[in-house]
Structure formats: C-alpha cells, structure tokens
C-alpha cells in the first residue's frame, strides 16, 4: 500500500540505550533520550550536532539498522523494525563509511544494486550525472574520499527512493564534488524526495536544509528553518536591533574603551585581532573608522558579519569542547 | 522537461526475492572466484592434498585403493575451505567495511544477503566437485554408484554446518581474528580433524573426539557413502546438530556493525 500523504519520516520520543559498557561498570549508556522530529517529502531536513550527539544512531534507528529502546518511528507510514523489501525499495541510504566492498568496481557494483529494483534509475544516466565515468575502472579501495562519496550517493539513489538518508554527505568532498552533490540534492528535493541528512557542519545545514533540528546529547534542543533559528536569536534579547560582529586586525594592544556603546562586547581575541559583537549601528561603524583615522591606524583586514548558524548552535549546545 | 525521466517519478518496487537472491549469489560467487587466496584455499591446496595422498602410503590398508579413500576426504576439505574459511573471512571483512549494513538497507535485506552467501558457497562447491572429479577419475577414482546421491547430499549438509560456523565466527569477532581463527582451524581440522585422514590414522586421544567434530563427521559420512554406498546416520546427525547449533548461535549473536 502506498501512502503518499504520510510524511517521509516521523520520530516521537526516540530512546536508544547501548551497552552494557565496561567503561560504565557494565551499565547501559543512553545515547538518544526522547528525540522527536518530522521530515517532510520535498524538503531537506538536517540533523545538526557535534560528533557523538546521537545523529547517526537516530537515523540508523529510522533505517532499521539499529533496534530502538523506546519511542515510535514511522518511515513512509511504516515501522522500519518490521518493514520488508517493499519499504526498503522506497528508501535510499548513504552510510557514513560508505558500505561499499573495497574490491568492487563502480559500474558493476551499481548494476548489481540496480538489479534489486524492478524499475531502477538507469545506471548510465546516474553514472553521467555523478561523474562516475571518470573513475569507472578503479576499485573502490583506490578511490579518493570524494569519489567514494559520489559512488555511495549513486548506490543510495539507484532505486529512485522517496526518502533519502545521507550521513555526513560532504565528508571528504572536494569543492567541485560538493557543488555537484549539493545541486543534485536540491534537484531531487524539488522533485519531491524527502531528504534527511546529518551533519556537524553549519555550512552544510545553512546551504542545504529547509528545516534544521539541532541535536545535543541525544535530544533535539532547537528546531526551525535556518532563517527562523537565526531570527529567533536576533530578537530574543535585543528588541529588533541588529546583532553584528565586527572583526579587524591591526597593531596589538589598542584600547578601544569608549569608542563603542557598553552593550557591544569588545575584545582582543589574539594579539592584534579585535572583535566587537553586539547591536552595532551605522553610526558605531563610522565611529570606529573615525577612531582609526584620528590615530593613523590602517587595519590589515576588517569584516562585518551577522550571526551565523554556528553562533546559534554554540549558544544552544554550549561552547565547551567535548 | 526532465532530462532524466527515470528520476522524474520516485519510488521503485523491489525485484522478486528469488531474483535478488540469485543476483547476490552470482555476485558473491564471482567475487570469491576472483580472489586469488581464496582459489588457493578452495582448489589448489585440496588438489595438492589429493595428489599427496595418492602417491604416499598414508592411507594404505583402509580400502580398495588410495584414491578411493582419499577423494571423499578431499571433497569434505573443499566444503570446509569454501563454506567456513573463505566465506567466513569474506563476511568478516564485509562487516568491517559496512557492506553488510549497506546491503541490508537495500531490497536485498539481511535474509537475502545470507541466502545469497549460501548460494555462492553451493556454486563454488559444485565447481570444486567438478575439478576434483576431473583430477581423481584419471587417477583411478571409482566411487560407489549407489552412494553418489547420498554422498552429494551429505556434502551439502556439511557445507551448511560449515557455513553456519563461518558466519558465527565472522559475525562475532574482528575480521583479523576471523582470518586467524578460520585459517588455523582449517589447518588443525584438515590435519587432525578426521577430514582427509580417517580416525584410524589419528592418535588414540583424537579418535574419540573426531566423530563429534563437523570435520570428522563429514569426512566419515562421505567415505561411507562414496566407498561403501552406505549412509552413516550418526555422522549425519552430528552434522545436523552442528548446523542447528551454529545457526541458532549466529542468529542470536551475529553483529551487523
């Protein structure tokens, strides 16, 4: 039974314990605790989080590769734990480690996987689309990281899936491959594919995702479109003022006291590198430039930036390194 | 206005289970046959053992001719090479590289993957039987005709037991350990497990044990079938028991990642 109206993926209250672990005196470790999310068809949904946040565990539970401890998962309206070949044919998976046999050659491997479907994406078309013809005679073990990722993506797409899982899709991609892969992802999204990706790269999420879940310590701590996540942080404390960060490099030891309003946090982050973050106005920028002019300072570099998803992410999930 | 009509509509149906298993079986067979080390283990070493046993007096006095006593053991050795050592090592490394996890997300699934491996073991075994027969017949091998069919069925049962054991090892320890364990057991069982050398030619301490080993049971069952045309029910029962126990244990403890 097809159920085109059901979302691509719905997860409610997912719990996953692993272990028992000797490092915890034989106790279980809860790697996902009560995570919920919905991924729609025709959208790219990103799970954004640091390494170890529980992103891969979450999508592996959704793919049926790991058995969940608790909660419910509906993948195209079915439970992945009890699903059969019919459901697996409608779902494409690109694993973080690729999962391709090292001795295989790309084209025979893709043809083999295509044989598992009644009506696959024509392999020749897929090969051309992902530039696989350039390395079609090289065994998987000799491929570069980017080539491996493109082949793994082709293997995930060969069944023309309705839902596509991508675990850290830009890992190892050179800039050209990244452009190619990101364009294809956008095109497939526009054709109605529901795409779920995990990433620890803010830039991936910012460029690709229609909707972002920020995952930390096994739960979702924030969600929204990229714009919503940024705006939320902008308006929360400062009543519509524009939070910006001004960065510049000049001689070390300058004292900027009194140049900018008190609400702006000014600091010398390294010797000669200055940052000023807060509700900056055009007048403030003018005052800084005038201050430079009065002292004959010509900065080696200067830049102005709005808050990035990275700032939001770090604010929410804490700045300490794990 | 799509240029890739195939991607214009999403969602495919799976090919039939039979087709998926046949495809996977063919793919794994070709992979096994392309692997040089595998071929040495599956074909070259058993043939060397066959020639060795027919030119030395190791088996003298146990039956009608050296080659008639040797061939059943060599076929049992072939089953152990392919089903246990070869297939175990391949599965262990497939597990390491995530191949098992990836394939289990495709329509093939875990069941199809295991069935495909079983099929590949059987396909390679058929080739081994043909090669061994092609070498043994000119050397004077004359198997008991009534024993042929039961012998071949017992060979398949032995392959099933060794496949289950190979999967159990491959699914529970690291691939390097699988490599070491399955190669070491191949040598130990091959030399002392009652496979090519019947229990009568082994030290007294080993004689009591070998009948309960899959190697000894298979070796003896094949010798009884191909030499005397008789079915050794006790040995068949031992093989069934190993298949069931290792199969259950593999189902219970096999780790896919």
Per-residue pLDDT of chain A (322 residues), as tens digits, is 444 568 999 999 999 998 888 888 888 899 999 999 999 999 999 999 888 889 999 999 999 999 999 999 999 999 999 989 999 999 999 998 889 999 999 999 999 999 999 999 999 999 999 999 999 999 999 999 889 999 999 999 999 999 999 999 888 888 888 899 999 999 999 999 999 999 988 888 888 999 999 998 898 888 988 888 876 554 445 556 777 889 999 999 998 888 999 888 898 888 999 989 888 888 999 999 999 999 999 999 998 887 667 777 777 766 555 4
SS3 B115: helix
Edge-first strand listing for the sheet containing A163-167: A91-94, A163-167, A194-199, A44-48, A211-216, A219-224
Q: Which residues have C-beta within 8 Å of that of residue A248, sequence separation ≥ 6? A: A273, A274, A299, A300, A301, A302, A303
What are the φ/ψ torsions at residue A33 (nearest 5 degrees)? -130, 95
Chain B contact set for A125 (CB, 8 A): 4, 6-7
Residue ranges covered by each domain of chain B: 15-253
Answer whether B176's CB lies under 8 Å from B37's CB: no
ipTM associated with this complex:
0.88
Nearest CB to A122 within list B6, B23, B34: B6
- Residue A223 is given by DSSP the state E
What CA–CA distance (Å, rounded) separates A90 from A110?
A: 17
Q: How far is the alpha carbon of B28 from chain A, nearest alpha carbon, in Å?
A: 11
For Cα atoms A101, B253, B15, give the angle at the middle one, nearest 5 degrees. Answer: 45
Judge: B106–A116 Cβ closer than 8 Å, yes or no: yes
Q: Which residues have C-beta within 8 Å of that of residue B121, sequence separation ≥ 6? A: B82, B83, B87, B159, B163
Looking at residue A4, what is its pLDDT?
Answer: 54
Report pLDDT digits (tens) over B180-208: 999 999 999 998 899 998 888 888 888 88
Q: Which residues have C-beta within 8 Å of that of residue A250, sequence separation ≥ 6? A: A272, A274, A292, A297, A298, A299, A300
Report pLDDT digits (tens) over A260-319: 998 888 988 889 999 898 888 889 999 999 999 999 999 999 988 876 677 777 777 665
Q: Which residues have C-beta within 8 Å of that of residue A167, sequence separation ≥ 6? A: A55, A56, A59, A94, A95, A96, A197, A198
Judge: B4–A193 Cβ closer than 8 Å, yes or no: no
> Could you tell me if B64 lies within 8 Å of chain A, comparing CB atoms?
no
What CA–CA distance (Å, rounded) separates B208 from A126?
A: 60
Answer whether A195's CB lies under 8 Å from A43's CB: yes
Looking at residue B1, what is its pLDDT?
Answer: 38
Domain spanning A241-317, CATH architecture:
2-Layer Sandwich (3.30)
- DSSP output for A13-28: EEEEEEEEEGGGTTEE
Instruction: Label residues B172-209 b or e (16+ Cβ within 10 Å = b).
Output: beebeebbebbeebbeebbebbbbbbbbeebeeebeee
Bridge partners (DSSP) listed for residue A72: A12
Answer whether A97's CB lies under 8 Å from A151's CB: no
User: Would you state the structure tokens that stand for residue B180, as one six-digit string?
Assistant: 């070491």
Looking at residue A126, what is its pLDDT?
Answer: 95
Which residues of chain B, if any, have pLDDT below 50?
A: 1-6
SS3 B20: helix
Q: How far is the alpha carbon of A68 from chain B, nearest alpha carbon, in Å?
A: 15
Q: How far is the alpha carbon of A95 from chain B, nearest alpha carbon, in Å?
A: 7
Cβ-based burial of A308 (10 A; exposed 0-12, middle 13-18, buried ≥19): middle
Most A-contacting residue of B106, B110, B112 (CB-CB within 10 A), to test interface: B106
Chain B contact set for A42 (CB, 8 A): none
Judge: B99–A100 Cβ closer than 8 Å, yes or no: yes
Judge: B12–A84 Cβ closer than 8 Å, yes or no: no
Looking at residue A172, what is its pLDDT?
Answer: 81
Answer whether A196's CB lies under 8 Å from A163's CB: yes
Judge: B27–A112 Cβ closer than 8 Å, yes or no: yes
> Could you tell me if B65 lies within 8 Å of chain A, comparing CB atoms?
no
User: Would you state the structure tokens that stand for residue A85, as one six-digit string?
Assistant: 């070949």
């Amino acid at each position: 039974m097809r159920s085109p109206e059901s979302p691509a993926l719905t997860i409610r209250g997912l719990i996953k314990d692993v272990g028992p672990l000797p490092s915890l005196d034989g106790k279980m470790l809860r790697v996902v605790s009560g995570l919920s999310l919905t991924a729609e068809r025709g959208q790219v949904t990103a799970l954004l989080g640091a390494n170890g946040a529980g992103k891969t565990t979450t999508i592996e539970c959704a793919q049926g590769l790991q058995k969940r401890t608790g909660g419910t998962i509906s993948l195209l309206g079915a439970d992945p734990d009890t699903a059969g070949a019919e459901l697996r044919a409608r779902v494409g998976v690109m694993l973080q480690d690729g999962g391709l046999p090292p001795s295989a050659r790309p084209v025979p491997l893709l043809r083999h996987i295509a044989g598992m479907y009644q009506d696959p994406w024509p392999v020749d078309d897929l090969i051309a689309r992902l530039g696989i013809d350039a390395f079609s005679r090289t065994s998987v073990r000799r491929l570069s990281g980017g080539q491996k990722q493109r082949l793994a993506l082709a293997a995930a797409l060969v069944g023309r899936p309705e839902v596509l899982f991508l675990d850290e899709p830009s890992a190892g991609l050179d800039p050209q491959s990244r452009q190619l892969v990101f364009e294809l992802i956008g095109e497939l999204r526009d054709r109605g594919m529901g795409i779920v990706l995990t990433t620890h790269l803010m830039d991936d999420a910012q460029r690709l995702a229609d909707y972002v879940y920020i995952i930390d310590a096994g739960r979702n701590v924030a969600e929204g479109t990229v714009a919503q996540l940024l705006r939320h942080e902008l308006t929360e404390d400062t009543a519509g003022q524009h939070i910006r960060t001004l960065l510049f490099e000049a001689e070390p030891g300058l004292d900027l006291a009194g140049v900018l309003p008190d609400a702006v946090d000014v600091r010398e982050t390294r010797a000669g590198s200055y940052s000023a973050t807060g509700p900056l106005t055009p007048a403030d920028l003018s005052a800084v430039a005038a201050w430079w002019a009065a002292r004959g300072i010509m900065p080696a570099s200067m830049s102005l930036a709005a808050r990035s998803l990275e700032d939001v992410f770090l604010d929410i999930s804490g700045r300490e390194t794990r | 206005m799509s240029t890739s009509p195939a991607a214009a509509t999403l969602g495919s149906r799976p090919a039939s289970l039979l087709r998926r298993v046949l495809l996977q079986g063919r793919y794994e067979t070709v992979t096994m046959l392309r692997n040089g080390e595998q071929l040495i283990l599956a074909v070259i070493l058993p043939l060397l053992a066959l020639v060795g046993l027919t030119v030395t007096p190791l088996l003298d006095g146990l039956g009608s001719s050296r080659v008639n006593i040797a061939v059943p053991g060599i076929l049992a050795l072939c089953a152990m090479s392919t089903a246990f050592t070869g297939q175990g090592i391949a599965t262990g490394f497939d597990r390491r590289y995530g191949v098992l996890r990836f394939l289990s997300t495709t329509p093939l699934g875990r069941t199809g993957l295991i069935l495909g491996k079983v099929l590949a073991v059987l396909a390679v075994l058929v080739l081994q039987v043909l090669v061994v027969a092609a070498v043994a017949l000119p050397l004077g091998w004359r198997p008991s005709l009534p024993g042929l069919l039961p012998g071949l069925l017992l060979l398949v049962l032995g392959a099933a037991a060794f496949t289950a054991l190979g999967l159990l090892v491959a699914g529970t320890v690291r691939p390097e350990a699988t490599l070491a364990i399955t190669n070491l057991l191949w040598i130990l069982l091959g030399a002392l497990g009652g496979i090519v050398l019947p229990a009568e030619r082994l030290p007294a301490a080993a004689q009591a044990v070998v009948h309960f080993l899959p190697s000894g049971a298979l070796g003896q069952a094949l010798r009884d079938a191909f030499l005397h045309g008789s079915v050794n029910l006790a040995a068949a029962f031992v093989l069934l028991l190993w298949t069931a126990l290792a199969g259950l244990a593999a189902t219970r403890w096999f780790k896919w990642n």
